[in-house]
Amino acid sequence: MATHGKKQVNRSPVDWWLFVLGFVLFAAVGFWATPAILYAEKPQPFQFSHKLHMEQVSEGCKSCHAFRKDGSYTGIPNLEKCKECHGEDPNGQTPEEKVFAKEYVAKDKPIPWQVYAKQPPCVFFSHAAHIANAGMECAKCHGDHGKSTKLRTYEYNRLTGYSRDIWGWSLIPLGNPPKRMKMDDCARCHRDNGVRDACFVCHK
Amino acid sequence: MNWDRRAFVKFAVGAVVGLQASPLVPKLMDDVAIWTQNWSWVPDPETGSVAFAKSINPDTLTGVKTRLVKARLSGKRVIRVEGDPEHPLSQGGVIAADASVPQKAYYNAMRADAPMMRKEGVRGRVPAAEALKKVAEKLGELAKAGKASQVAIIADDPYSVTGEMLMRLAAAYGTPNLVFMPSAKQTLALAGQLLFGQNNIGFDLLNSSYTISFGTPLLEGFGAPVATRKAFAAWRKDPMNRATLVQVEPRSSVTASQADLWLACKPGTEGVMAFAIANLIIQSGQADSAVASAAGFDQFKAMLAGMYGLDKASQDTGVSAAKIKAVAEGFMKAPKAVAVCGPGNSGDPGRLFDFMAVLALNAVKGNLGKPGGVVLRENLPWKALGEPMAMPKTPSLDGSDDRIMGLDNAYDLAVAALSGKPYPLEALIVVGCNPAFSGPQAKVMQKLIDQIPFVVSVSEYLDETALMADVVLPAASFLECWGDCATPYGASQAFYGVHQPLIGIFPQAKSQGDWVLALAKELGGKAAAALPFADTKAALAARTAAMGGLDALAKKGYWMQAKPAYGFAFKTASGRLELTPQGLGGKLPVPAACIAPSKERPLLMAGIPSLRTGAGQQPLSPYQIKILDNVTLAHKDQLVAEINPKTAHDLHLGEGDVVEIASAAGKIKVGLHLYHGAAPGMVFVPVGLGHTAFGMYLKDKGANFFEAVEVAADPGSGLPQWALTPVSIAKAGGVSHV
């Protein structure tokens, strides 16, 4: 059999380990680099313990995150709501409360919380429909936020500006709310519960 | 192991594949897609305080609740139109035509947003005053030259405030040629008048336990479509006490498929079926006593026995005698049964013969004025806009002067005007309708508009008619202006709906009524005196004075008769049921001479109505186009017609063949879909597609059914009739992917 003058190189199976090495190494680099490339952090104005507050109030989440009379949802309580309890001691007791009192209560300045669950502006979301009508628990979407002793790091997507909680903290798209809050999760839950999942149900 | 080129390539490929396997690439792709939402030119709905307001869609008579965001753009913006749960007709439901109202209202490629005028053949925007002055000057010149009657007005709805204004304007100006688009309301009123002396009748569908629908698309746009569907849902609510629905028509339509029994009759024999059932009831001796004492009963009975005996009717209709008998028995035994007639599947106003046969059947059953039967409606407590006005003495072009109840015929008007006999038309004003598309007979109407030297279109959209007009006056959508609408076809209770301005989209768009008033003012003299209202709101306030005040009415959105009125009185000259109506010269109703197929045109064409496409009077929104299935609009925007597989086989045609359907009046190109539910010898074409206006979402999608229909005056009512058209089919080359 003619070889046309080409030199035959005897290759050992070890050569293929180079392929595997490249694959594993760069997959790992991808996993390691993805959060660093895509997300940035923003600090919260000061620390806050949901657990501590839950121990002080009588009506659970509803004590601060309430519905208005017209059925709309207050979301994160405004300064006036905080002052209902914190107004008596203008200096505060803990270091965090001192920041709160000095920077916000004294200056009557709204607290610029970074909102973990904030959805893009192209969708409607009615808390009344989910909590009051469907009887869902807050934790179904927000997790055990009410039991946390401190606020975790807020991360946002560098490209879109949306909170990382929307896409989810897992790097592979697995899991359900409260681990992630993407459109697919909303649609799945709607379907599972016999609620329409047409575009205009949520999208403006 | 050698670290050479090959080894490096292996490592590099592994690295690339490894990177792909990590979340970096898919996540980046996902984020880039989401990032596009944040581009500065992507509209971002602002937050504002949300308010709700009630209104009514006059095209569908659906009571709607509009969700508005205040303090945006020019005041407010509609986010969504949804059903009003408190509305007695729609009870919270909407159809696609209602849901897509905002899309059409805000879509400026469709809308006529400013007055336009054609100067030296080129259409351009002009100030409203200039456009009005031009129209008034032209009409003034014609009146001065004694040619007032050579001005025609074609309008949509005679029962609306705009309709009444136009009647007064036409009378004051001096033209007898005001015609309204034909509707089944006119046919039903005439049939009721002839048989009972009552022209304000409806069907108590909600309370009926056995309904026979004679060739009318009950679930595809009958009356107020949402209300009819709600009645149907109520029939089906209790499985143990289910009401029966029987559909009589040649095609397995949506209604037929939902019915308990479908009587697939031969085309045009729905009235024959009604008489056949009436005959069986009379023969069984179970006819109502009012019928036995009716004027002309013996003659009627003999006619039924002679012409509509079971065997003959079975032969004529193509439905087995056993089935006809079973339906007759079921109908007779049911405590609350009603036979329903209505607009035809082709969007036509129905044949008087069929309507009379159906009403006579109801009389024979003895359900007149009874729950679940044919009921009399209260007259709407509205007030006339002024003293009655004398109509001009010149004979009208459409021949309506000689007809019972003077019913208009826009098609006859067009034919007479085109022939110039007895006189031609010098000007045409089209208000709130689109005859260049929906005809009757679109080609004839296009020819008419083309031939008339001066055409004005008062239209919400730049539709086919507006594109041909010399002057376009932009009409506002119902969300932007004051307006009204009256009792839907066949409703059991009198109803009156009012809509008010909730948003402002195009500042120059006015209600149709406002344009009529502005024109009357510009004309001055008698016209201005006949319509002494500042605006439509003032005219509506006068019209609704007896309905509790316009503001309260607008807030509620409607006035409605409290409940169906049971009890019946015949108001004929004889004070009895007239089975041989004096209005017809004491003669018995005879079957309308159907346009019959010939050797040249061996098939009969009929329309396919649908809630998705409507009856062609209103354009579809982009959303409505998206919800059409591919057996309506196939690949490459090919309209799809249905044909029976056997008929297709006989004509050597197959699934997907592109064919030309040609009638004596026009032709259209469609793809074929073989459908066992289509009657043999017929071809069924979807109605409402094939626009040549309205921009990229609607233009050139499908073909226009109204271009191929052949129109003839109904021998009984004189209304234009296009239920069935003889056509030929020939392969046009190509295949559509149905």
Smallest CA–CA distance, residue B510 to chain A, in Å, is 28
What is the DSSP-derived secondary structure letter of residue B48? -
What is the full DSSP assignment across B330-377? HHHH-SSEEEE--S-TTS----HHHHHHHHHHHHHHT-BTSTTSEEEP
Smallest CA–CA distance, residue A154 to chain B, in Å, is 18
What is the full DSSP assignment across B113-136? -S-EEEETTEEEE--HHHHHHHHH
pLDDT at residue B311, as a whole number:
95
Structure tokens at B345: 């599947």
Residues of chain A contacting B1 with CB distance shorter than 8 Å: 12, 14-15, 18
Check residues B92 and B47 and name the one with the higher pLDDT: B92
pLDDT at residue B74, as a whole number:
40
Contact B162, B478 (CB under 8 A): no
Distance of CA B80 to CAs B50, B64, B85, Å? 11, 10, 15
Contact B182, B719 (CB under 8 A): yes
% of chain B beyond a pLDDT of 90: 73
pLDDT at residue A8, as a whole number:
62
pLDDT category, B377, cuts 50, 70, 90?
A: very high
Residues of chain A contacting B35 with CB distance shorter than 8 Å: 159-160
Q: CB atoms < 10 A from the CB of A48, how many?
A: 17
Give pLDDT tens digits for B331-365: 999 999 999 999 999 999 999 999 999 999 999 99
Inter-chain contact B24–A34, Cβ cutoff 8 Å?
yes
CB-defined contacts A:B, below 8 A: 106
What is the full DSSP assignment across B663-693? -SS-EEEEEEEE-TTSPTTEEEEESS--BSS
Mean pLDDT of B255-280: 95
pLDDT at residue B69, as a whole number:
65
pLDDT at residue A17, as a whole number:
87
- Rounded-to-integer distance, Cα B641 and Cα B659, Å: 9
Q: Is the pLDDT of residue B70 over 70?
A: no
pLDDT at residue B289, as a whole number:
87
Inter-chain contact B23–A34, Cβ cutoff 8 Å?
yes
Smallest CA–CA distance, residue A53 to chain B, in Å, is 31
- Rounded-to-integer distance, Cα B710 and Cα B411, Å: 10
Option in B23, B25, B79 nearest A204 (CB): B79
Residues 6+ apart with CB under 8 A from A180: A165, A166, A167, A168, A169, A170, A173
- Average pLDDT score over chain B: 91
Q: Is the pLDDT of residue B514 over 90?
A: yes
Strand order in the sheet with B558-560: B483-486, B495-499, B558-560
Q: Lowest mean pLDDT of B100-104, B463-467, B638-642, name the range.
A: B100-104
Contact B322, B226 (CB under 8 A): no
Option in A14, A22, A30 nearest B12 (CB): A22
Predicted complex ipTM exceeds 0.95: no
Structure tokens at B577: 């049921």
Mean pLDDT of B672-701: 94
Q: Look at the alpha carbons of B229, B230, B235, B240 in this order and tell me if their dihedral is positive or negative.
A: positive
pLDDT at residue B179, as a whole number:
95
Q: Which amino acid is at B245?
A: L
Inter-chain contact B27–A38, Cβ cutoff 8 Å?
yes
Best of B20, B31, B627 to substitute, by most chain A Cβ atoms within 10 angstroms, is: B31
3-state secondary structure of A102: helix
Give pLDDT tens digits for B519-559: 999 999 999 999 999 999 999 999 999 998 899 999 888 99
Put simply, the chain B residues between 67 and 126 with a CB less than 8 A from any chain A CB are: 79-80, 99
Q: CB atoms < 10 A from the CB of A87, how many?
A: 11
State CA B7 to chain mean position distance: 74
3-state secondary structure of B167: helix
B51 in contact with A, Cβ within 8 Å = no
Mean pLDDT of B289-308: 89
Mean pLDDT of B256-270: 95
pLDDT at residue B80, as a whole number:
83
% of chain B beyond a pLDDT of 70: 97
B562 in contact with A, Cβ within 8 Å = no
Inter-chain contact B38–A160, Cβ cutoff 8 Å?
yes
Enter the pTM of the model: 0.80
Best of A159, A162, A174, A184 to substitute, by most chain B Cβ atoms within 10 angstroms, is: A159
What is the full DSSP assignment across A143-185? GGGGG-SSPPPEEEETTT--BHHHH-SSSSS---TTS---HHH
pLDDT at residue B701, as a whole number:
94
Which value, to the nearest 10 degrees, does the dihedral of the CA atoms of residues A78, A79, A82, A83 take? -140
- Tokens 């059925």 correspond to A71
Element of type H or E holding B738: none
- Rounded-to-integer distance, Cα B428 and Cα B153, Å: 6
pLDDT at residue B72, as a whole number:
41
Smallest CA–CA distance, residue A131 to chain B, in Å, is 20
Inter-chain contact A23–B17, Cβ cutoff 8 Å?
yes
Contact A140, A177 (CB under 8 A): yes
pLDDT category, B406, cuts 50, 70, 90?
A: confident
pLDDT at residue B493, as a whole number:
95
Mean pLDDT of B435-439: 93
pLDDT at residue B620, as a whole number:
92
Option in A9, A19, A29 nearest B11 (CB): A19
Option in A23, A28, A160 nearest B35 (CB): A160
Inter-chain contact A23–B18, Cβ cutoff 8 Å?
yes
Best of A6, A11, A18 to substitute, by most chain B Cβ atoms within 10 angstroms, is: A18
Structure tokens at B669: 């190109």
Smallest CA–CA distance, residue B470 to chain A, in Å, is 39
Q: Is the pLDDT of residue B68 over 80?
A: no
What is the residue-level pLDDT of chain A in tens, covering all 204 positions? 444 555 566 666 777 888 999 999 999 999 999 999 999 999 999 999 999 999 989 888 889 998 887 778 888 998 888 888 887 666 677 888 888 988 888 888 889 999 999 988 888 888 999 998 899 999 999 988 889 999 999 999 999 999 999 888 887 777 777 888 889 899 999 999 999 888 888 887
Structure tokens at B421: 């006999």
Contact B260, B246 (CB under 8 A): yes
Chain A interface residues (partner B, CB cutoff 8 A): 9, 11-12, 14-16, 18-31, 33-34, 37-38, 120-122, 157, 159-162, 167, 171-172, 200, 204
- Rounded-to-integer distance, Cα A42 and Cα B196, Å: 80
- Rounded-to-integer distance, Cα A126 and Cα A130, Å: 7
- Rounded-to-integer distance, Cα B485 and Cα B497, Å: 5
Residue of A nearest to B29 (CA): A159
Smallest CA–CA distance, residue A155 to chain B, in Å, is 14
- Rounded-to-integer distance, Cα B464 and Cα B142, Å: 26
Contact B552, B542 (CB under 8 A): no
Inter-chain contact B19–A16, Cβ cutoff 8 Å?
no
pLDDT at residue B245, as a whole number:
96
- Tokens 């006949």 correspond to B530
pLDDT at residue B71, as a whole number:
46
Give pLDDT tens digits for A157-183: 999 999 999 888 887 777 777 888 889
Check residues B47 and B335 and name the one with the higher pLDDT: B335
